[in-house]
Amino acid sequence: MGSDPEFPMEISWAEIGDWVPAMCMIWESFMEFDSKDYTKKAADNFYDFITDPELYESFLDGGYRLCVCKNSEGKIVGAAGVRGFFKLSLLFVDGRYHKRGIGKRLVEYVCHRLKEEAGSSKLVVMAAPFAIGFYEKMGFIKTEDETTMGGMRITPMELNY
């Protein structure tokens, strides 16, 4: 995305060196905002997921794409992962940067790029309780009631764009 004085941050697909800082930001944000909705075991499962060498290998071979938002100093302040061409995951924004449009811009970037690269027109997400309101504002609709997977409370949602 080009320079925008109203949004002085850069969003792009992640490079190899972005992986660890992005996962650290995701973990910190999860602990600050999401962990209260989960048991310690579920939080441990989440940590195991984001530190799983297989997820990293999938990122390296292109099976798991990661989009990052960097502030003007180059620090990662937001991230969003994509499996395949329609499954959104790990959408997190550093708490100090909430309410600045970063989550919205990440979703828009992913939608635009997936449409351009693969003709995709739908995103699905397993939304955490903390994020449901955000996804609804973005136009996602609930496709099923809340359920639990791996100890994590999730609500399946979908966006057609």
- Residue 132 falls inside a structural domain: no
Taking 90 as the threshold, does the pLDDT of residue 3 lie above it? no
In tens, the pLDDT along 116-146 reads: 999 999 999 999 999 999 999 999 999 999 9
Give the pTM: 0.92
- Residue 80 falls inside a structural domain: yes
- Residue 151 falls inside a structural domain: no
- Residue 1 falls inside a structural domain: no
pLDDT at 2: 47
Q: How far apart are CA 37 and CA 153, in angstroms?
A: 8
- Residue 65 falls inside a structural domain: yes
Give me the phi and psi of 86, to 5 degrees please: -155, 0
Taking 80 as the threshold, does the pLDDT of residue 67 lie above it? yes
- Residue 40 falls inside a structural domain: yes
Total domains present in the chain: 1
- Residue 56 falls inside a structural domain: yes
Structural domain containing residue 18: 10-121
